[in-house]
Every structure is written in C-alpha cells, then in structure tokens.
Amino acid sequence: MNPAELLTALVATPSVSGDEARIADLVAGHAESWGARVHRQGHNVWFSVGSGPKRLLVNSHLDTVKPCAGWNTEPHEAVWKDDTLYGLGANDAKGCVTAMLLTAKALLEEGSPKGVECVFALTAEEETGGKGLGPLLSTLGPLDAAIVGEPTSLKPCTAQRGMLLLRCVAHGKSGHVAHAHAGGLDNAILKAARDIQAVSALRFPAHPLLGEARAQVTQVSGGLARNQVPDRCEFFVDLRTTPGMDHAKVAEDVGQALESEVVVHSARYLPKGTDASHPLVRAAVVASGQDTVGSSTTSDWAFLGDIPAVKVGPGDTLRSHQANEYLTRAELEAGLAFYRRLLHGYAGEVSRG
C-alpha cells in the first residue's frame, strides 16, 4: 500500500472524536499485517519497533473534529483532485498518521535505528482532551523523548502555548433601577466592565518563539431583569500561556489586578518548550532543513509532563478545523521521508552523546 492509498483509506473512515473504533481497527490491522505486536486500550493503538536504552514516542491522533459547514465535497469521503486529497482529517492529522505508520513499516522491514526503541502510539480523543494519550502514558512506560505529529509544514515546533481559563465574577448590590440614583446600590456589570478593560491592559513577558501572551475575554453574562440593578456579572478570560508562565501564579496575579472574584476554570493544558540543544531538536532541524518555530495551538504535547518533545508533521495548521481541508501528495511523501530521517538522525545524535 503506497502513501496515497493509505491516506485515502484513513480519511474515508470517519473518526470524529470519541468514535474512533473503526479507524483504530484499520490502523491495528495494517500494523499487525506488517509484523508489529499491536496493543489496544480503548481506541488507542500502539506498538514498538526496535530496542535500545532510549525510548522515543512517535505519536499522532486518529480523531477529527465534527465537520463544519461549507464543504464542496462530502467531508467523510476522500476525494482526489489532481494531486490533492480533500476530506475531513486529511490535514489534521491523518497525513501525520499515514507517514508515521509507513515509517514504522519501513523500520520493521529494514531494521530500526540502533539503540532506540520507537514506540508508535496512534491515539484517540485529542480534539476533545479525553481518553487518549494522557491516560495511556502510564501504560507506555518510561519515555526519553517524543515526536508529536501535527501539521506544521514540517517545521520543528519546540514551543507550544498552553491554555489557562479563568472564571471571573463581579459582585454588586441589587435593587430597582428607579432608585439607583439615590445610592446604596452597586452595579456588578459596571464593575465587570472596569475589569474587562483591566484584562485588556494586562501584559506578560514575550517568548522568543511565541511572542507575547494576551488575555482575551470570551464570554460575559449578567443581569436578571431590565429594570433591576444587577448584583452579579460573570465573564471568562482565555489566556494562551507561554513556557515559563506558571498557571497558578498567573491566576493569582490576575486576581490581584481585578475587583472581581477570580477562580481557575481550566489549567490542564500547560505550555511546553524543549531546549534547542536536545538531541531530538538537533535531529529535527537537520532532518527538516528549517529553523525551529513556536505553535499557538495546543496538542497532546500538553499531557507529556517533562518529556522533551518536538511537534512536527506534514500539512499546514491553518487548514485545520476548516471546510475543504486537504493534503497534497507531495506533502504526504515529504512527511514520510522526513520522519524516517528524523528517527535515524535522533539515533545518531544519541549515540554521539
């Protein structure tokens, strides 16, 4: 099976997040037919190739988002037009999955990089942060480094933003609007408005690859009736953090800057960064021929703890989660060649110490 044929089969297999059973079966079947000893946990599929003191995770996700409006083709059909494949997940991230699977096939046939056990994990529910890579990690065992397959135009991403969501509540004192001029009432919406202005003025240190982090107010709700001074107004703040920003400390600082009560709504997507001197980064730069970049989007890298990682793969992140998602044949074939160079290059870097 050539790369285009495998990508076609994967894209033609619907795998909206949480419903990946069919594609997991497909991936497992191919890997088993190539001689891999395949393991399953839910809709997660993994297997190892080679052995050695270093264990390298090679990971991408099987699931997709739900199809949006505006498609010119059926989203769950794989439609080739010239040398471009259109279909949901073609870019994010079934191109990465295809290239990783065929890299594993090549290693099974030709022999794996010396001194490195490559742990291939094709996982579920990345788009929803559910029962995917995070819960699987303890089963995979110790890992020395990781490749996270996402569409980056094969540019090695060594820094990724995290996501901190804060729920802010402005408290006031309610009463009839007709009596507001007499004093004694406290309009919570006005208090929230002052805090929203304060949020827009917050500044954080810039990151060399990701730039500045800016807090954004994304939802506001308050007031019970048109003739009642509101005593409560709630708003949410979304802050895409950078490596070096501690979520607990940032939440505390924001709380001190606002009149409103501030509580952490979600902080589990942590920012990530890998030092440029790490062997995997050095190998990725050589394999790609491109400098390292930062990524504003989150991925399963957020759940890898302190494991050094590089996020990299064929496709363009700007195509993700959009109608008429696509991947070209040239991008797919370049991704396969890149992953093979990267794995062998990492083994070489490790052997040199």
Q: What is the pLDDT of residues 302-314, one digit of tens each?
A: 999 999 999 999 9
pTM here? 0.92
Q: What's the confidence (pLDDT) of residue 130?
A: 80
How far is 209 from 202, CA to CA, in rounded Å? 20
CB atoms under 10 Å from CB of 33, counted, come to: 11
| Tokens matching residue 224 | 């019970």
Q: What's the confidence (pLDDT) of residue 46?
A: 98
Q: What's the confidence (pLDDT) of residue 181?
A: 79
Mean per-residue pLDDT of the chain: 96
Strand 232-239 versus strand 261-269 pairing type: unpaired
Residue carrying the six token digits 């497909």: 26
**What band does 178 get if pLDDT is binned at 50, 70 and 90?**
confident
Q: What is the pLDDT of residues 15-25, one digit of tens each?
A: 999 999 999 99
Question: Per-residue pLDDT for 30 more than 90?
Answer: yes
Encode 293-344 in three state secondary structure: EEECCCCHHHHCCCCCEEECCCCCHHHCCCCCCEEEHHHHHHHHHHHHHHHH
Coil, strand, or helix at residue 136? helix
Question: Per-residue pLDDT for 117 more than 80?
Answer: yes
How far is CA 115 from each of CA 55, 62, 240, 277, 337, rounded to the nearest angstrom? Answer: 9, 28, 38, 20, 21
Q: In what order do the strands lie in the sheet with 232-239?
A: 215-222, 232-239, 163-171, 261-269
| Tokens matching residue 44 | 């997660």
Q: What is the pLDDT of residues 31-72, one digit of tens each?
A: 999 999 999 999 999 999 999 999 999 999 999 999 999 999
Q: What is the pLDDT of residues 314-348, one digit of tens each?
A: 999 999 999 999 999 999 999 999 999 999 999 99
Task: Identify whether the C-beta of residue 172 lies closer than 8 Å to the C-beta of residue 188.
Answer: yes
